[in-house]
Amino acid sequence: MGKRGLKWIGALLCVAVVAGVGWMLLREQIMERLLPYGIKKAVRRIDAAETLLDPVTYPGIRVILAGTGTPLADADRSHPCTAVIANGEFLVFDDGGGGLRQLQIHGYPTHRITRVFLTHMHSDHMGGMGALCDYSWIYGRKKQIHIYGPNASNLLTHSLYPPTSDEYVHGTKTTGGVPDTRRINELTEDDLVPGAGYIPGVKYMVDGLAKAFRPDIIIRSSNKQMPAGFYEPTHAFFVAHPIPDMDTAGKAPDFGWGELKTVYTSDDGRLVVKAFLVDHYPCFPSYGYRVECAGRAVVISGDTERLTYMATCAANADILVHEAMNMELVNQITRVLDEDLGRHVWAAHARGAASHHTNTLDVARAAEAAGARMLVLTHVGPPTRNDTMRKIFVKGMDAIYHGRIVLGEDGMEFYLRPNQKQG
């Protein structure tokens, strides 16, 4: 290589060095300008989110879908979680995992969560309770969270369940010889947890979470860099409020099918949460909830099969958030699993699980009978991966239900203004 070539290489190296230094200086200037802007923007967003809990500015009911999926892993949907902001309170209904994260991603002030209501004790509805309680405290929650949910139940008998739309015959089997019956999971004496009954309730879960997260709470509470009292350990935990189910001693039930039971009323009486029993066999008791505030009503079905009492419990609801399973798609999937792929256990599991949920057309019938003004579908199964699947999922519903139908997605929000006619 001649001297001329070396000169060109030297010149290029000089240009590269100068360009590199120039970019570093420019990058510092950009960071100096953009970083404060980004931080200020984030803080303004947090401040704006705080105003959502101002009952004067927003006196109605805000409904947020934080999780609209099923137990199946879904890149588009978290496990079931619905949040409600009303009368200055932040309420959460279920979180199977991912719901709190979705609320944080969308900028909601999760440190202001005050109460959680569990519909039942299946993992896809309560698996996120530890993270919800711990992280909301880490981010600045100053009060304990009150959690409402099923009491321990030792009265799991077939006689408790009213007739349902789908009674499966005992002893049926898949083509692979695997038992395929809705009664397969009925518990026996061997499944008893000492002192807890057939199914441990919300208090049992809360005590377990307190033990599981105690190390994290102790470590964070000792952080000397934080202001004294910021991480108050007593604020980190849940306070359990078990909801009694039907009486276990053969006496009159605490409350029965189709009956609304008030489980929470705000101090000023403007916000009321009512529970009602739903049939999600064999997970007993299971509940749905009705939230009333500002002359409006939002009903959250929980997991349930079609029952006529939904027309009473969700009567005239402004929004009915109802789980939905498209049985046509389920049947196609289970047929392929069972007959084509030989996955008999998978097919039995899918078919059995689907039998404890509500078909989309039955959801439409329930909403129409209740006179609900809007129907929002959650716990969406099977997954809807594209527009075609979404259209198939709701096919035929609008011929039955004449209100607005929304196929729920994570992050959706609905706001109900106060009903002026009712003050």
CB 277 within 8 A of CB 286: yes
Confidence of residue 158 (pLDDT cuts 50, 70, 90): very low
State the average pLDDT for the chain.
82
Q: What is the pLDDT of residues 196-226, one digit of tens each?
A: 446 778 998 999 999 999 999 988 888 878 8
What does the pLDDT read at residue 415?
Answer: 97
Residues facing residue 289 across a β-bridge = 275, 300
pLDDT of 405 over the 60 cut: yes
Q: Kindly tell me if the per-residue pLDDT of 187 is higher than 60.
A: no
Tokens of 164: 């349902």
Ranges 121-135, 174-188, 215-229, 298-312, most confident: 121-135
Boundaries of every domain in the chain: 48-415
User: Cβ(364)–Cβ(310) under 8 Å?
Assistant: no
CB 348 within 8 A of CB 179: yes
Between 170 and 94, whose confidence is greater?
94
Residue 15 has what pLDDT?
60
Q: Classify domain 48-415 by CATH number.
A: 3.60.15.10
Q: What is the pLDDT of residue 284?
A: 73
Q: Could you tell me the sign of the dihedral formed by the alpha carbons of 203, 208, 211, 215, in that order?
A: negative
Quote the pLDDT of residue 168: 40
For residue 63, give the H/E element and its range.
strand 61-67
Q: Are 247 and 255 within 8 A, CB to CB?
A: no
Measure the CA–CA gap between 280 and 278, rounded to whole angstroms: 6
The rounded percent of the chain whose pLDDT value lies above 70 is 75
Where is pLDDT greater, at 74 or 122?
A: 122
- pLDDT range class, residue 167, cuts 50, 70, 90: very low
Per-residue model confidence as pLDDT tens digits over 243-288: 876 554 445 556 677 889 999 999 999 999 999 988 886 677 789 9
Tell me: pLDDT of 156 over 80: no
Q: Is residue 233 over pLDDT 80?
A: yes
**Pairwise pLDDT comparison (370 vs 151), residue with the higher score:** 370
Confidence class of residue 8 from pLDDT cuts 50, 70 and 90? low
- 321 or 282, higher pLDDT: 321
User: 5 falls in which pLDDT band (50, 70, 90)?
Assistant: low
C-alpha span between 271 and 228 (Å, rounded):
34
pLDDT classification of 151: cutoffs 50, 70, 90: confident
The predicted structure's pLDDT at residue 186: 46
Query: Which residue did the predictor score with more confidence, 45 or 12?
Result: 45
Give the tokens for residue 241: 């409020």
Residue 157 has pLDDT above 50, yes or no: no
pLDDT band at 92 (very low <50, low <70, confident <90, very high): very high
pLDDT of 19 reads: 62
Give 344-390 pLDDT, tens digit per residue.
888 887 877 787 899 999 999 999 999 999 999 999 989 888 899 89
The DSSP secondary structure of 177-203, one letter per residue, reads S-B--TTTT---GGGPBTTTBSB--HH
Which range has the worst mean pLDDT, 112-121, 158-167, 170-179? 158-167
Q: 403 or 197: whose pLDDT is higher? A: 403
Token couple for 90 = 């932040």
Lowest mean pLDDT among 169-178, 224-233, 260-269: 169-178
Report the distance separating Cα 405 and Cα 115, nearest Å.
28
